[in-house]
Every structure is written in C-alpha cells, then in structure tokens.
Amino acid sequence: MKTNTKYNSPAKKTGLVKGIFLLLLIGLSIQTFAVTPKRIITLSGALTETTDALGFGKNIVAVDVTSIYPAYVGSLPKVSKNRSVSAEGLISFRPDLVLAPEGSVSKEIAYQLKSAGITLVNIKQEYSVSGSIAFIKAVAAALQSTEKGEALAKQTQAKIDKALAAVKKTSKMPKVLFIYARGTGVMLVAGQHTNIDAIITLAGGRNAAQGFNDFKPYTTEALVEANPDVILMFDFGLSSLGGADGVLKMPGVAQTTAGKNKRIVQMDGELLINFSVRLDQAITMLNKNLQ
C-alpha cells in the first residue's frame, strides 16, 4: 500500500511556512502604515475643529494663527506669527502628522518635512455642503479613523439638512454685501465664487456684489451701486472700524438701504467660513441675523 505524501512532503511544509510568514509580513506592513498619529499640527481653523471633533484634540501639539476654536486651542503653541510657516518651525514641534490646506505649504517645505520623517497631508476644501462632508472624511482618513469620519459626516449632514430646511421657511432674501476690513486702510468686498458668497446663499441671502469673482478693493461707488439691504462683517473687522457707528459714517453707506435701516451684521469669522463640522451653526446664525 502506497503512502499518500500529498500533504506531508518537506517541500509542501516549507511552502506553507513561507506563505504564513508572508501573510504576517503583510499584516505588519498594514499596521505600520496605519498607525494613528500621536503628535499633530493643524494649519487652518477648519482642520483644527475637525480634528478635535474626531476625538484627536489631545494629539494636537501646535496650530496656525487662524485656529481659535474650541476654546482650549487658544492656549496651544502657534507655528508662526502670521499665515506663513517654515520647515524649521514645524519640525521643532516633533509632529508625526501635519494637516494643511491644499496649496498652503510649498514644495520645498514639503520635501524638508518628508526628509525629517514627517507626514504632510494636504486637504482640499470646497465651500459647499457636499464639500464640507468630503472635507470631514478626508481629515478622518488622514487620521487613520475612517469609521469615526463616516459617523461624524453623517451627523453633520443631518444637522445641515435641518438648518437648510429652516432657511426654506423664511421668506426674505435680502441683498448682503460682505466687507472685509482691517481698519480703514484695508477693505475688500467678497464677490462670487467665494466662501462668503456660498454661506450667504446657504443662509437664504443674495450676494449684493455681482459681476466679479474673489475679493476686490472696496469703493464708495461700488457700495452705492450694490445697494445692499445688509452689510455683513467679521466681528474683528467691525471693531477695527469703530463698531456699527463707524461703518454708518463711511462714505456712501448712508445712501444704501442697509445704511438707512442701520442693518450692520457682525459674525465670528471662523464660524462663518468654517465649512466643516459647524456649518449648520453658521447657516442658522446668519439666517437669523439676515431676517
């Protein structure tokens, strides 16, 4: 009687051992590339808020100057005194992950971070409801936390839907002119295809600045021609002009519907242009202010 050596030959055993070893290596590789970051730097307010909302606030070691929410973020180290960053400044905090808005970090700095063994993830932000949801998921993926991302995205979508439903019940669609100010020396108005244009529309208003994209310098003639029902500003911008009384005294304002009715609205800048986990709050608050 012949012995069946199909499963007992040395060659077969060696192949089986090699196969198991290969699978173990693959498993270890996956774990190596999916390590949750322990030291994170975030380079925008939206990235900071989203990272915190995903449960990684305790891992943030430094932020940019635009990051002010949640409150504890104000006590975190800043990577720069303005919006520009340096490789040395980032590396000094010993991060294992840097989250940055797309296009905000130069190729030279990106190369230096990579050479230092630091992962840089550039995240695109689109100013729309779908863009906000995609942004949350992208941040979660960078944090190796896709399940949390899906859950947070679902919660955020539900809150946004509720806010938009409330907006539809309001009848007014006032013309809104946004003025960005840093004192009287720096004043810009927001045109079409901007984050401000998007939030005004979502909140049930109409952007009074038409015929141009992006931001352009404020002029008295353009203000009078736009004739807004409401003038919208960031809170710090309004303060830099001396409050509502200061704005009402600006040339041309008294000739507009907004000036005649003293309709000057101020809002927290980071909330207004967040377009992430607090988008529903921005929509609701702006809508109430416009009504």
| Mean pLDDT score across all residues of the chain | 88
Task: Identify the DSSP state of 92.
Answer: T
| Residues written for the chain | 291
Per-residue pLDDT band at 160 (split at 50, 70, 90): very high
CA-to-CA distance for 56 and 47, rounded, in angstroms? 11
Residue 145, strand partner residues: none
Residue range 253-267: mean pLDDT, rounded? 95
Residue 222's pLDDT band (cuts 50, 70, 90) = confident
Q: Does residue 21 carry a pLDDT above 80?
A: no
Which structure tokens are listed for 176?
A: 């809104």
Q: For tokens 């919660």, name the residue.
A: 155
Average pLDDT over residues 114-134: 96
| Per-residue DSSP letter, 213 | B
Residue 25 has pLDDT above 60, yes or no: no
Say if residue 20's pLDDT is above 80.
no
The pLDDT, as a whole number, for residue 82 is: 73
Q: Which of 250, 240, 232, 235 is nearest to 286 (CA)?
A: 232
- In terms of average pLDDT, the best of 81-85, 183-187, 260-264 is 260-264
- What is the predicted pLDDT for the residue at 34? 57
Does the pLDDT of residue 5 top 60, yes or no? no
pLDDT of residue 2 exceeding 70, the answer is: no
| Per-residue model confidence (pLDDT) at position 4 | 46
**pLDDT value at residue 17:** 46
Strands 175-181 and 187-190: antiparallel
Task: Please tell me the predicted confidence (pLDDT) of residue 15.
Answer: 52
Q: Please report the domains of the chain, with CATH numbers, ordered by start residue.
A: 40-165 (3.40.50.1980), 170-290 (3.40.50.1980)
State how far the alpha carbon of 285 is from the alpha carbons of 100, 117, 163, 206, 265, in Å: 28, 43, 10, 16, 11
Helix (H/G/I), strand (E/B), else coil: 178? strand
**Cis link prior to 70 (omega < 30° from 0)?**
yes
Please write the tens of the pLDDT for every residue from 77-105: 999 877 789 999 999 999 999 999 999 99
| Phi, psi values for residue 81, rounded to 5° | -90, -10
The residues with which 176 forms a beta bridge, in sequence order, are 207, 230
- Which of 18-32, 73-87, 157-171, 276-290 bottoms out in mean pLDDT, i.e. has the lowest? 18-32
CB 258 within 8 A of CB 231: yes
